[in-house]
C-alpha cells in the first residue's frame, strides 16, 4: 500500500478510528484532508501528521449532522484544487435511549451524519475515481449492522446495516474499474465513542477481550479494501460474533442479542 501523492479524505478525524485512519494513510504516503466538528483537534492532528510523515494536510471543519456539511467539504476541497482518491466515511456517534424518548430533530441529525453524509460524499467523489480508474472507499459500519437490532440506540444498527448493503452495491457497480469499496465492521473499539454517548461506565464492565485498539482495526481495514474485501470484520471475537449471528436462525440470534443488549445499549438517555 503505497499511496504517495494521493489525497485521502477522513471524516470524523478528530479522535478514535478517524484519527488512526489519518495517521495510517499518511504513513503510507497519502496527503490527508481532515474533517470533523472540532477544528482545534484537527489542527493539532494535521501538524503532527505533517511533522511525522512529511505529507500535505488540509483541515476542513464541518458538522456532518448538518445536511449542508458534505457540500461545504466538497467546496473547500475544490477551492484548494484537491481531488479525493481515498474516501474514509467514518463520522458517527451513538444516540442512547428508545425511539420515542429522543426528539425527531435528533434522529434526523443522526441519519444525516451516519447515513446521508456517507452516501453524498461517495456520490460527490466517486466520478473522479471512476474516471482515473483508481479509488478506495471505506465506509465504517459496525458488527451492529450484521446482527439483529436491540432495544435502545434504535437507529444505530439500522444505519450500519444500510451502510453494509450500500457498500455491497457500490462495490458491485465498480468491480471492473479500479475502485474498491469496503464496509469495515468493527466491534467494540477503544475510542471516545462511549464517552460521547454516555455509556462508558456500562461498557467498561465488559471483558477486555471484546475490545480492540483503533490502530489494528484501521490497518486491517485498509488491507481489506486493497484486496477488494467488501464486508470486513476485524478481530477474532468480532468474527466469532458475526459468524454466529449468520449461522443461527434469525429468531435465535434476536433472542441472544436481546438477552445481552443491557450490557452495551442504554435504553434510557437520562440514566
User: CA 215 to CA 220: how far, in whole Å?
Assistant: 9
Q: Which of 237, 230, 179, 233 is nearest to 208 (CA)?
A: 237
Is 3 considered catalytic here?
Answer: no
| Catalytic residue of the set 3, 93, 156, 190 | 156
| Cα–Cα distance for residue pair 52/28, rounded to 1 Å | 12
What is the Cα–Cα distance from 17 to 268, expressed in whole angstroms? 26
Residues in the chain: 271
Residue 122 makes CB contacts below 8 A (sequence gap 6+) with 87, 89, 137, 139, 170
For residues 237 and 185, the answer to whether their CB atoms sit within 8 Å is: no
Q: Which residues are catalytic?
A: 156
Amino acid at each position: 500500500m503505497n499511496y504517495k501523492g494521493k489525497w485521502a479524505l477522513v471524516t470524523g478525524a478528530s479522535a478514535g478510528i478517524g484519527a488512526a485512519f489519518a495517521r495510517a494513510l499518511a504513513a503510507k504516503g497519502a496527503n490527508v484532508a481532515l474533517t470533523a466538528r472540532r477544528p482545534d483537534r484537527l489542527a493539532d492532528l494535521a501538524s503532527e501528521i505533517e511533522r511525522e510523515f512529511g505529507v500535505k494536510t488540509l483541515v476542513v471543519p464541518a458538522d456532518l449532522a448538518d445536511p449542508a456539511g458534505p457540500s461545504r467539504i466538497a467546496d473547500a476541497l475544490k477551492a484548494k484544487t484537491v481531488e479525493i482518491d481515498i474516501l474514509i466515511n467514518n463520522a458517527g456517534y451513538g444516540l442512547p435511549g428508545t425511539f420515542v424518548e429522543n426528539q425527531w430533530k435528533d434522529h434526523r441529525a443522526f441519519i444525516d451524519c451516519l447515513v446521508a453524509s456517507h452516501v453524498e460524499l461517495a456520490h460527490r467523489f466517486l466520478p473522479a475515481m471512476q474516471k482515473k480508474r483508481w479509488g478506495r472507499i471505506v465506509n465504517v459500519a459496525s458488527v451492529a449492522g450484521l446482527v439483529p437490532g436491540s432495544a435502545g440506540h434504535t437507529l444505530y444498527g439500522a444505519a450500519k446495516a444500510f451502510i453494509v448493503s450500500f457498500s455491497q452495491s457500490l462495490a458491485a457497480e465498480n468491480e471492473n474499474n479500479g475502485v474498491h469499496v469496503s464496509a469495515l465492521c468493527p466491534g467494540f473499539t477503544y475510542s471516545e465513542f462511549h464517552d460521547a454517548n454516555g455509556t462508558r461506565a456500562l461498557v467498561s464492565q465488559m471483558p477486555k477481550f471484546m475490545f480492540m485498539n483503533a490502530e489494528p482495526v484501521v490497518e486491517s481495514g485498509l488491507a481489506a479494501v486493497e484486496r477488494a474485501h467488501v464486508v470486513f470484520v476485524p478481530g477474532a471475537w468480532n468474527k466469532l460474533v458475526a459468524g454466529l449471528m449468520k449461522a443461527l436462525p434469525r429468531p435465535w440470534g434476536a433472542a441472544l442479542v436481546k438477552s445481552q443488549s443491557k450490557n452495551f445499549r442504554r435504553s434510557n438517555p437520562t440514566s
